[in-house]
Amino acid sequence: MDEQSPKADLNAMYSPLGSLIRRQPISVPLDASVRKAIGVMDEKRIGSIIIADKESGMPLGIFTLRDLLHRVTLPGCDLDQPIAAVMTAGVITVTPQTTAYQAALIMGRRGLRHLLVVNNDGKLIGIVSQNDLFALQRTGLSNVTSNIRDASDLPSLQACAREIRGMALTLLGQGVSAEQLTHLISTLNDLLTLRIIELTHDEFELPEVKWCWIALGSEGRYEQTLSTDQDNGIIFDTDGLGVEAVRASLLPFADAVNRKLDACGFPLCKGGIMASNPEWCLSQEEWRAKFSWWLHAPEPSALLNATIFFDFRPLYGADELSSMLREWLLEATGKAALFLRLMSENALQCQPPLGMIRDFIFDNNKEFPHTIDLKMYGSRPFVDAARIFSLGHGVALTGTAQRLRGAAEITSFGSGVEAMIDGFYFIQLLRLRHQHELNGKEGGENRINPDNLNELDRHILKEAFKQARRLQEKLRLDYRI
């Protein structure tokens, strides 16, 4: 494989940040002088230094050569003043598991040059620069992301959407794993959506309040395939203004974004789960009220909503609004035993299509006979179970694999969790292949005839369904169903 290929690019950009850290981070305490900090930077030949708490090691700020020029040298500041006076505070931290692509997205959205990598205790373990990430990108993928950043109108955005699909199909043909590919599709779609929001933002006079565009459903889980509609919403803060006034100002903007996404190949949600729907453009308090109602009056509609809305993540705007809602939600769901049990009962109604005698069983769909719905009966059992375990055990992540791994650290999954994740992604891979074969045709995007699979794929699919069954059995035992 040519190391300059898109597949090589993706393998590098999918790598976790922990693998990019080459040396221990250099730091000075908050009360160190500017002179001391500069001296350490010169001695270690580094372009930035972290300011960390003496006792906990938690990062408090960063000081770079750019800061030295603009905050010390040009203003003629005293070198003996504390570094705290000229450092950049409010640093953005990420975990070692954050991928290079996710890091590039964060940097691009916030205009950052460095990200600090911390462990679960918040202690600094490394620093990753913009240059580190650029060094990983070479030709194919960097061209797509560059074109997205440079897009300035709808035709150029539509061209980028076609590029994303073309890149995904190329990588699928090269044998890229489903985990990497679904993450890539979702990440590039994120970048495209961000650019659409940015351009649309300039067309409207929006209220001066904090607001956050959130991704829901498969996009919220980083699990988009080649055939996907849009599920999104908005969280806003009123900042003293009336709720209805803020919502009325945001809705036309949201409608414009939804329509541009539709024009770029992300169909409008048939169920109306979009930010342009007043029901899903809500204040922080209204979102909490929604979730509270679903948790404490769990009707069938509440269980259905849980499969979409509980997978939210921030995409644009004030991320802290999403983080606050997630923190509140995890605390609330941890106490909602009845809701989690009903969710489990609902999830267990969707059984993997394995027969006692035959390899597979079918749902007698008249339009697509002798087929299996790989979304409903394949990936959904994994997604639903992972969601329930994450909500019940306070796992803040939204991806199915990340949720399962997070829950495994808390519960008694054991080493079997990786086999479950492999089973989930094999089913995702079959979905992607099938959607590629359909070549844009509508209908049956997730339905396959297992007789058309080769012997090895049939065997692996059967084993994948067995892993879904094992995961459901753990759900059954944990909630005594």
CA distances in angstroms from 383 to 68, 125, 311, 362, listed in the order given: 49, 32, 10, 21
Query: What pLDDT is recorded for position 1?
Result: 39
Q: Which is nearest to 188 in space by CA: 138, 254, 230, 142?
A: 142
Q: Are 58 and 124 in contact (CB under 8 A)?
A: yes
**Over residues 351-364, mean pLDDT:** 84
User: Is 474 a residue whose pLDDT tops 70?
Assistant: yes
Residues 6+ apart with CB under 8 A from 364: none
User: Is 115 a residue whose pLDDT tops 70?
Assistant: yes
281-315 pLDDT, tens digit per residue, is: 999 999 999 999 999 877 777 788 888 999 999 99
User: Is 83 a residue whose pLDDT tops 50?
Assistant: yes
User: Is 318 a residue whose pLDDT tops 70?
Assistant: yes
User: Is 172 a residue whose pLDDT tops 90?
Assistant: no
Q: Are 185 and 225 in contact (CB under 8 A)?
A: yes
193-202 pLDDT, tens digit per residue, is: 999 999 999 9
- The β-bridge relationship of strands 59-64 and 48-52 is antiparallel
User: Is 136 a residue whose pLDDT tops 70?
Assistant: no
**Over residues 346-371, mean pLDDT:** 87
Query: What pLDDT is recorded for position 5?
Result: 56
226-274 pLDDT, tens digit per residue, is: 878 899 999 999 988 899 999 999 999 999 999 999 999 999 999 899 9
Helix (H) or strand (E) run with residue 372 in it: strand 372-373
CA distances in angstroms from 125 to 117, 144, 445, listed in the order given: 6, 31, 44
DSSP string, 291-312: HHHHHHS--HHHHHHHHHHTT-
Q: Are 293 and 369 in contact (CB under 8 A)?
A: no
Query: What pLDDT is recorded for position 277?
Result: 97
CB atoms within 10 A of CB 367: 8
User: Is 380 a residue whose pLDDT tops 60?
Assistant: yes
Beta bridge partners of 314: 214
User: Is 2 a residue whose pLDDT tops 60?
Assistant: no
pLDDT band of 33, cuts 50, 70, 90: very high
